[in-house]
Amino acid sequence: MLYLFLFLTLIMLISAIAVIFIKNLISAVIVTTVVSLVASILFIFIAAPDVAITEASIGAALTLVIFIIAISRTKEDDES
């Protein structure tokens, strides 16, 4: 159980670091959704099921939708 925990935490930290280096904006948003989903799994390891349901439904569904709508309205890639 401890090694599964460590593995999930490493996935979360590597995805968060990868946001710095990704140029395409939609890929960066999808990687942030991965961070939110793994955080929702970590909340179950901490014995907090209420918070896990809320984080999964808000962080994975609504935040992704609103970022994609904002990106499609501005239509610019990360050039720098």
Partner 1 sequence: MNSIVNHEFIIHIASFGLILIGFYIMFTQKNLIKIILGLDIAETGVNIFLVSAGYFKNHTAPIFSKAGLSAEQMTDPIPQALVLTAIVIGFGITALALSLVVKLYRETGTLDVSKIRGLKW
Partner 2 sequence: MRKFFSLLLLLGFVFYISSIIGTILFHEDFFHAHNVGLQITENAVKQTGSINTITSVVVLYRGFDTLGEVTVLFLAALGISLLFASGKKEKNKIEDESFILKYGSRLLYPFIILFGIYIIVHGHLSPGGGFPGGVIIATGFFIILITSDFIKFNDKLLSVIEGFAGLSFIIFGLIGLFGQDNSFLANFLSTGVPGKIISAGIIPFVYAIIGIKVASELSGAIGTFTLVKQEGSKNE
Torsion, Cα of 22, 64, 37, 57 (10° steps): 170
Contact residues for partner 1 (CB under 8 A)?
2, 5-6, 9, 12-13, 16-17, 19-20, 25, 28-29, 32, 35-36, 39, 42-43, 45-51, 54-55, 58-59, 62-63, 66-67, 70-71, 73-74, 76, 78-80
DSSP state of 70: H
CA angle at 71 for the pair 68 and 21, rounded to the nearest 5°: 95
Q: Is 75 in the site for partner 2 (CB under 8 A)?
A: yes
Q: Collapsing DSSP states into helix, strand and coil, what is residue 1?
A: coil
What's the min distance (Å) between Cβ of 13 and partner 2? 13
Site for partner 2 in 14-73 (CB under 8 A): 49-50, 52-54, 57-58, 61-62, 65-66, 69-70, 72-73
